[in-house]
Amino acid sequence: MPPRSVLATAIAAAALSLVPMSAQAKSAELIHRSVFDGTPVRTASALELAGPTAGPLGGFFELTVTAADGTLPTAFGSCEPVDVAGVLTVSPGEVLTVHTQGEACAHIVDGTLQVNAYFGKKDLTYEGSEHKKAAVIGDGLIAAADHWYGGHASFSGTVRW
């Protein structure tokens, strides 16, 4: 290797060692958290569900589903657009918030409420000191159900920190 390229390589390596690792490469992480057997609060126009999440300690998920037209679907098999707000505490001091639209359906068999809402980069905000910012890669999904035995909700998405 010519002396000039050895010197250039050494300078480049030294410069990279001065840049913090977090600035060199961003990491992507699949975040999937679920609330099981939560106690839902359901009115004619909204569903609220909150509780600790399965997964790392300190996780908590709060979900609010609001009917766009003022009433959630009740006829078996009917579906309606809804506004969805989800707040996921990933760990103490780290919060991901999603505001998006989705669809709520009354299950065709028993009429229980089922909700699915996709979200993208523009729907997600991050609050915390662990990372500078967060962006979802592709689409994430918030899903929820209000069954006769309790409520379930999940947050799933790949986030680039």
pLDDT tens readout for residues 43-69: 999 999 999 999 888 899 999 999 999
- Residue 96 within a domain: yes
- The answer to whether position 18 is within a domain reads no
Give me the phi and psi of 83, to 5 degrees please: -95, 135
pTM: 0.82
Residue 113: inside a domain, yes or no?
A: yes
Structure tokens at 103: 């669809």
Q: Which residue segment(s) compose the domain that 145 sits in? A: 26-160
- State the average pLDDT for the chain: 88
Distances (CA, A) of 53 to 20, 62, 108: 32, 10, 28
Residue 21 covered by a domain: no
Q: Provide the pLDDT confidence category of residue 22 given band limits of 50, 70 and 90.
A: very low
Q: Establish if 56 belongs to a structural domain.
A: yes
Q: Are strands 124-127 and 94-106 parallel, antiparallel or unpaired?
A: antiparallel
Q: Could you read off the pLDDT of 126-153 as tens digits, one per residue?
A: 999 999 999 999 999 999 999 888 899 9
Domain count, the chain: 1
